[in-house]
């Protein structure tokens, strides 16, 4: 009975974090709500027996990316954004479209897309989510893609340095 | 009560739409970035859920790659935000309309 | 051997044009190498001449087709670059390359020091190439290619000194007037193709072999129409009424060009066309009568104009028109071989006359420069109002003492064209008149009228040519400062061609002896036997049923000789002492008629009033508003509506990224909806 309880707890936390990020006026607060969301998703990964990805999620997102975000927000010393008028045509359309997308996604999920709705055996999933299992595939079958990702990261690093330099723009 | 794949997928859908709304509604470039990250996470959740449901490791590898790309994207994107801020002293996307026809 | 020769004959001039043209265009240093340019240009024509002579000597009197490659093939129609070697094309090729080579040699001296030396030789070689295509072609389309090619080269060379607007205008005039004739030629080809294929002749590539074999399948009305259209084409190229107006203006080009293109070769291509298709032309007697009359009227009209002209080249130009008229008379009375005979003799004496006039102009230019140097020019001591003109005969006179070679060659050619007995012109012109008389004797009364006009023209010819000679070479030296400044004889490159051509002008007549003289001498008319269809040649002719009695023939010969002598004597006697006064006397005596002649019958003015003005005025009044309002209005309206629409669309490009994101999500929703529900 622990499984459903854990799922619902973290699902609610993830939703709260996401909505908090969306609603908060202060960027720092937004970013902190986002951290909660990311942490909850990592826990959801754990409920799915994907330990490796869960750890990476915390390390990369909470540890690296969110720190970067907070760093930039504080660097730029961003305050609160001025409020918009109560109603904006764009807001209305955006809500409508959001509802549309949600409806479509849920419709597709309900349709099941013809795949089996049952989970694989817990032991199988547990073996699948280990660092050993992921690493084995990553360094053999996806070795080339891994190299490309390495190059991409290098390029992004150089690009970021160049863009952020004072004289560049 | 059994938590099926559909629960995860539905959660992921809701998170994704929250991300979409963030992109469409918020005017702070950094929050828009965060929303994009949220959307990526929603998709990652789907991938992990599928992957574990069918005990197929490929989905996890894909998540790994998505995270890497997200990291790269965040680095470059934030650098652009810094560059923009330096020129315009704002990160409000409504005030940045260089593409105006 | 034969095929190789023909290819070389055709390709060498093209190669010469390419070398001189390209090197001159891309290597400015090459432009100064006049000796090399001239040598290449001359050899590119002289070598083909030698090859043609060899071909001519080894010719078995038959028609040989030399195929090169297929130009175009579509369905049943297949046009090849085929060339026809027979008696007619050999004669023409000999004229083109032989006289062409001499004129190239002459140009080396005449064009010395001209900035466009390389351009001139490139054009001249290109002209020879096009002309050879014209005379050697086996089918009408390749002939037409050469036909257009010579037109183009003529245009380029008339406008050679293009910095003078007058020359460009003359070039345009020549080109446009020629195009009118070319249009008729094209129509003739279309009609011929349509008629032949409808009659079931297939495959038909407009080649002469097929045309001659199947000439009888065409209805007589169709043949008449085709021949008429071909004749209109010929009037354009060969400067006959009504399209002769371009030739006198074409004298704006350098004098060697006038000699080569506008006297010896290109302008005779209309005659060549009629002679080539003589078996077909003979099927249209009505049109032949028209040809004869047009020729005769052109001949006398041009001759009367020539008497009044003071520009030495203009006299020769109208003389050319007049002589071409004679040739058309020959074609019209069915004596095509005589037309070609006259083409040949005319090529010699007219080329010699033009080159002689070039030599004179060359010398007068030096006189002009000397006078300017000495400060005599500009001078008011001129026999007429205006500036000193090196081509105006009124400033010449007495040149015989300073330019003996030019003088003697010019005199021989003058006597030859006047028809003085036993020079070339006597034989060919007399033969034309005799053939006209013979046709009349055989029942066609109209031919006597043509003959009569021819006789009158003959005496006029003798007068105006002798007047030209007298004004130029005899009498008083009339240029200002004539006491100290004397002209000089031209260099050898110019005098050698003169001498060769003068010898030709004296002797070529003997290849076409009149029947009477030939009979007396126990020989025959060589050119008749060489070209005539009845002896296996390519040129058909009208067969006279009744032969003119020998006595009449003898009288006619005597009359021909007499009028020539009388004409020459008249001019000599009247212009010997003071030419200009004689001109004034004639002007007073003739009054309005003289004005008519001197103004070229107001033909240019008439064309201007009836064709050019209505078109330009009509365009200005009728078409310009249409163009400005309807055509421009449509274009501008389109542009305005596009810019208006785009202004509206531009409003969507707010530059706010979130609007784009909104549109993107909308697109996603629509696409996903389509994927789900469709």
Kindly report, residue by residue over C353-408, the tens digit of the pLDDT. 999 999 999 899 888 888 888 877 777 777 777 788 888 888 888 888 889 999 99
Q: Is the pLDDT of residue A84 over 70?
A: no
Residue C139: what are its φ and ψ, rounded to 5°?
Answer: -125, 165
Same domain assignment for residues C375 and C464: yes
At C233, the pLDDT band (50, 70, 90 cuts) reads very high
Instruction: Tell me C217's DSSP state.
Output: G
Once rounded to an integer, what is the mean pLDDT over residues A30-40?
92
Domain membership of residue C83 (yes or no) is no
Q: Which chain C residues have a beta carbon less than 8 Å from that of A104?
A: 669, 672-673, 676
Helix intervals (H) in C508-578: 515-521, 526-531, 550-575
Among C648, C656, C661, the residue to mutate for chain B (most B Cβ within 10 A): C656
Q: Which domain holds residue C473?
A: 326-598
Asked if residue A34 is part of any domain, the answer here is yes
Helices (H) and strands (E) in chain B, counts: 3, 0
For A41, residues 6+ apart whose C-beta sits below 8 A from its C-beta are A10, A14, A57, B41, B44, B45
Q: How many domains does chain C have?
A: 2
Region C568-579 average pLDDT: 85
Instruction: Check whether residue C524 and residue C573 sit in a common domain.
Output: yes
For residue C659, the chain A residue with the least C-alpha distance is A90
Under DSSP, the state recorded for C69 is E
pTM (two decimals): 0.70
- Chain B CB contacts of C664 under 8 Å are none
Angstroms from B20 CA to nearest CA on chain C = 8
- B74 neighbourhood in chain A, CB within 8 Å: 65, 68-69
Q: Which residues of B touch C (CB under 8 A)?
A: 20, 23-24, 27, 93-94, 96-101
Contact C158, C174 (CB under 8 A): yes
- Does C393 share its domain with C476? yes
pLDDT at C189 over 90: yes
The pLDDT of B8-26, averaged and rounded, is 91
What is the average per-residue pLDDT within C524-536? 86
**Rounded to the nearest 5°, which phi and psi values hold at C64?**
-115, 135
Distance from CA of A33 to the nearest CA of C (A): 23
Separation of first and last alpha carbons in chain C: 78
Check CB contact under 8 Å for A98 and B24.
Answer: yes
Same domain, A103 and A74: no
Q: Report chain B's C-alpha Rg in angstroms.
A: 17
DSSP string, C97-154: HHHHHHHHHHHHHHTTT-TTHHHHHHHHHHHHHHHHHHHHBSBHHHHHHHHHHHHHHH
Chain C residues in contact with B94 by the CB 8 A cut-off are 656, 658
Q: Name every chain B residue with its beta carbon within 8 A of the beta carbon of A44.
A: 8, 11, 45
Alpha-carbon gap, residue C389 to C365, rounded angstroms: 9
* pLDDT for residue A114: 57
Averaged pLDDT for residues C230-251:
90
Q: Please say whether the beta carbons of C285 and C226 come within 8 A.
A: no
Is the domain of C473 the same as that of C395? yes
Please report which confidence band the pLDDT of residue C535 belongs to, taking 50, 70 and 90 as the band edges.
confident
How does residue A156 score in pLDDT terms, banded at 50, 70 and 90? very high
High-pLDDT (> 70) share of chain C, %: 100
Contact: C658, B20; criterion CB under 8 Å: no
**Cα gap A20→C368, rounded to integer Å:** 104
- Which of residues C340 and A108 earns the better pLDDT score? C340
Whether A1 is covered by a domain: the verdict is yes
d(CA C302, CA C306): 6
Chain A positions touching B54 (Cβ under 8 A) are: 120
A11 and A48 co-located in one domain: yes
Pair (A77, A62) in one structural domain? yes
One domain, residues C592 and C610: no
The answer on C610 and C581 residing in a single domain is no
Q: Between A and C, how many CB-CB pairs are < 8 A?
A: 20
Q: How many other CB atoms are found less than 10 A from the CB of residue C35? A: 9
Asked if A51 reaches chain B (Cβ–Cβ under 8 Å), the answer is no
Choose the final residue of a domain: C583, C598, C613. Answer: C598
CATH 1.10.287.3510 corresponds to the domain B5-95: yes
A125 in a domain, yes or no?
no
Segment B42-55, tens digit of pLDDT: 999 999 988 888 88
Alpha carbon distance A120, A129 (integer Å): 12
**Mean pLDDT (chain B, rounded):** 87
Give the minimum alpha-carbon distance from B1 to chain C in angstroms, rounded to a whole number.
30
Contact C437, C447 (CB under 8 A): yes
Q: Is residue A151 part of a domain?
A: yes
The set of chains that have 3 or more CB pairs under 8 A with C is A, B
Same domain, A164 and A140: yes
Q: Are residues C485 and C613 in the same domain?
A: no
Mark whether C621 and C563 lie in a shared domain. no
Cis status of the peptide bond prior to C136, with omega within 30 of 0:
no
Most confident of B71-85, C384-398, C579-593: B71-85
- Burial class of residue C63 in the structure, from the number of CB atoms within 10 Å of its CB (0-12 exposed, 13-18 middle, 19+ buried): middle
For residue C386, being part of any structural domain is answered with yes
Place of tokens 């009227």: C297
Chain B positions in Cβ-Cβ contact with residue A62 (cut-off 8 Å): none
**What ipTM was assigned to the predicted interfaces of this complex?**
0.89
The answer to whether C256 and C106 are in contact (CB under 8 A) is yes
How sure is the predictor about C418, in pLDDT bands with cuts at 50, 70 and 90? very high
Is residue C512 a part of any domain in this protein? Answer: yes
The residues near C442 (Cβ < 8 Å, ≥ 6 apart) are C544, C545, C546
Domain boundary at C549, C569, C598, which?
C598
Q: Are residues A54 and A5 in the same domain?
A: yes
Cβ distance A60 to B67 less than 8 Å, yes or no, reads: yes
Residue with tokens 């004496």: C349
Query: What's the mean pLDDT in C82-99?
Result: 93
Q: What is the DSSP letter of C32?
A: G
Q: Can you give the pLDDT at residue B35?
A: 93
Same domain for A45 and A71, yes or no, is yes
- Give the whole-angstrom CA distance, residue C379 versus residue C367: 13
CA contacts within 13 A on the Cβ side of C25: 8
The verdict on C611 and C499 lying in the same domain is no
At C84, give phi and psi (nearest 5°): -115, 120
- What is the rounded distance in angstroms from the CA atom of residue A31 to the CA atom of residue C40? 88
Smallest CA–CA distance from C672 into chain A, residue = A104
Nearest CA in chain B to C658: B24
Residue C439 inside a domain? The answer is yes
Count structural domains, chain A.
3
Contacts of B7 in chain A (CB under 8 A): 7, 11
pLDDT band at residue C667 under the 50/70/90 scheme = very high
Radius of gyration of chain A (CA): 20
Give the per-residue SS3 of A6-62.
Answer: HHHHHHHHHHHHHHHHHHCCCHHHHHHHHHHHHHHHHHHHHHCCCHHHHHHHHHHHH
Find chain C residues with C-beta within 8 A of A94's C-beta. 662
Q: Do A65 and B37 touch (CB under 8 A)?
A: yes
Any idea where the domains of chain B sit in the sequence?
A: 5-95
Q: How far is CA B4 from CA A118, B9, B47, in A?
A: 6, 9, 14
Indicate if the pLDDT at residue A168 is higher than 60: no
Is residue C230 in a domain?
Answer: no
Range of the domain at A96: 88-120
Task: Count CB pairs under 8 A between chains A and B.
Answer: 224
Look at C662 and A100 and tell me if their CB atoms are within 8 Å: no
Residue C670 CB neighbours (<10 A): 11
Per-residue model confidence (pLDDT) at position C616: 87
Q: Is A117 on the interface with B (CB under 8 A)?
A: yes
Residues C271-328 have pLDDT tens digits of: 999 999 999 999 899 999 999 999 999 999 999 999 999 899 999 999 999 999 999 9
Task: Please tell me what DSSP assigns to residue A88.
Answer: -
CB contact under 8 A, B101 and C650: yes
Residue C652 lies in a domain: yes
Q: Which of C646, C655, C668, C672 to mutate to test the interface with B (most CBs of B within 10 A)?
A: C655
């Amino acid at each position: 009975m622990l499984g459903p309880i854990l799922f619902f707890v973290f699902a609610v936390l993830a939703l709260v974090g996401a909505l908090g990020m969306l609603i908060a006026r202060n960027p720092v607060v937004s970013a902190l709500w986002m951290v909660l969301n990311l942490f909850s998703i990592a826990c959801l990964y754990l409920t799915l027996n994907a330990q490796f990805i869960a750890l990476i999620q915390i390390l990369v997102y909470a540890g690296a990316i969110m720190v970067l975000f907070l760093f930039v927000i504080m660097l730029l010393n961003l305050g609160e954004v001025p409020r918009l008028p109560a109603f904006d045509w764009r807001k209305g359309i955006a809500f409508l479209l959001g509802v549309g997308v949600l409806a479509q996604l849920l419709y597709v999920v309900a349709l099941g897309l013809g795949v089996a709705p049952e989970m694989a055996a817990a032991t199988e999933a547990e073996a699948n989510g280990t660092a050993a299992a992921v690493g084995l595939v990553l360094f053999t079958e996806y070795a080339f893609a891994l190299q490309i990702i390495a190059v991409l990261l290098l390029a992004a690093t150089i690009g970021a340095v160049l863009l952020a330099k004072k004289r560049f723009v | 009560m059994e938590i099926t794949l559909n629960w995860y997928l539905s959660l992921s859908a809701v998170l994704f739409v929250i991300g979409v709304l963030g992109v469409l509604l918020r005017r702070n470039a950094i929050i828009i970035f965060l929303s994009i990250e949220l959307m990526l996470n929603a998709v990652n959740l789907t991938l992990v859920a599928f992957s574990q449901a069918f005990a197929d490791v490929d989905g996890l590898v894909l998540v790994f790659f998505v995270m890497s790309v997200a990291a790269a994207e965040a680095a470059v994107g934030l650098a652009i935000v810094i560059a923009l801020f330096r020129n315009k002293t704002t990160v409000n996307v409504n005030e940045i309309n260089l593409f105006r026809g | 051997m034969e095929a190789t020769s023909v290819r070389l004959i055709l390709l060498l001039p093209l190669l010469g044009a390419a070398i001189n043209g390209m090197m001159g265009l891309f290597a400015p240093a090459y432009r100064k190498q006049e000796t090399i340019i001239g040598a290449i240009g001359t050899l590119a024509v002289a070598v083909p001449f030698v090859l043609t002579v060899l071909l001519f000597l080894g010719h078995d009197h038959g028609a040989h087709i030399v195929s090169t490659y297929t130009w175009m093939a579509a369905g049943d129609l297949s046009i090849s670059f085929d060339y026809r070697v027979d008696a007619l094309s050999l004669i023409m090729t000999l004229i083109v390359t032989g006289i062409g080579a001499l004129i190239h040699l002459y140009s080396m001296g005449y064009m010395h020091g001209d900035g466009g030396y390389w351009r001139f030789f490139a054009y001249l070689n290109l002209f020879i190439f096009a002309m050879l295509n014209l005379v050697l072609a086996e089918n009408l389309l390749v002939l037409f290619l050469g036909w257009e090619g010579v037109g183009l080269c003529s245009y380029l060379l008339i406008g050679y000194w293009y910095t003078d607007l007058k020359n460009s205008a003359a070039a345009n005039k020549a080109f446009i007037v020629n195009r009118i004739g070319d249009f008729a030629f094209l129509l003739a080809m279309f009609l011929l193709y349509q008629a032949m294929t409808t009659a079931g002749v297939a495959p038909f590539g407009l080649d002469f072999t097929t045309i001659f074999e199947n000439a009888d399948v065409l209805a007589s009305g169709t043949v008449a129409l085709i021949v008429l259209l071909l004749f209109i084409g010929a009037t354009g190229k060969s400067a006959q009424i009504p399209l002769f107006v371009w030739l006198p203006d074409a004298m704006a080009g350098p004098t060697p060009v006038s000699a080569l293109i506008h006297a010896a070769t290109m302008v005779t291509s209309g005659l060549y066309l009629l002679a080539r298709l003589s078996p077909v032309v003979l099927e249209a007697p009505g049109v032949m009568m028209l040809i004869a009359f047009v020729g005769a009227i052109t001949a006398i009209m041009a001759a009367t104009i020539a008497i009044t002209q003071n520009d030495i080249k203009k006299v020769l130009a109208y003389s050319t028109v007049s002589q071409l008229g004679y040739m058309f008379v020959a074609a019209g009375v069915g004596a095509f071989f005589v037309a070609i005979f006259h083409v040949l003799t005319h090529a010699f004496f007219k080329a010699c006359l033009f080159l002689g006039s070039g030599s004179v102009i060359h010398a007068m230019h030096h006189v002009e420069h000397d006078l300017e140097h000495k400060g005599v020019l500009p001078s008011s001591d001129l026999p007429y109002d205006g500036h000193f003109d090196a081509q105006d005969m009124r400033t010449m006179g007495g040149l015989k003492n300073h330019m003996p070679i030019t003088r003697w060659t010019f005199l021989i050619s003058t006597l030859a064209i006047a028809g003085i007995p036993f020079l070339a012109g006597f034989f060919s012109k007399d033969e034309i008149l005799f053939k006209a008389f013979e046709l009349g004797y055989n029942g066609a009364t109209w031919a006597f009228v043509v003959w009569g006009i021819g006789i009158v023209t003959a005496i006029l010819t003798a007068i105006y040519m002798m007047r030209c000679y007298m004004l130029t070479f005899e009498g008083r030296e009339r240029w200002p400062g004539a006491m100290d400044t004397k002209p000089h004889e031209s260099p050898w490159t110019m005098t050698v061609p003169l001498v060769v051509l003068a010898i030709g002008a004296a002797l070529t007549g003997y290849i076409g002896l009149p029947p009477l003289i030939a009979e007396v001498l126990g020989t025959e008319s060589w050119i008749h036997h060489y070209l005539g269809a009845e002896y296996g040649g390519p040129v058909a002719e009208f067969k006279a049923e009744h032969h003119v009695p020998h006595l009449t023939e003898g009288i006619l010969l005597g009359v021909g000789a007499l009028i020539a002598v009388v004409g020459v004597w008249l001019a000599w006697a009247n212009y010997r002492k003071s030419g200009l006064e004689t001109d004034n006397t004639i002007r007073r005596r003739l009054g309005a008629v003289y004005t008519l002649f001197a103004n070229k019958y107001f033909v240019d003015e008439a064309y201007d009033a009836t064709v050019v003005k209505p078109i330009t005025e009509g365009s200005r009044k009728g078409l310009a508003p249409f163009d400005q309002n309807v055509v421009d209005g449509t274009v501008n309206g389109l542009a305005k509506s596009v810019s208006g629409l785009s202004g509206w669309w531009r409003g969507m490009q707010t530059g706010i990224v979130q609007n784009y994101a909104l549109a993107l999500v909308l697109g996603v929703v629509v696409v996903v909806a389509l994927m789900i529900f469709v």
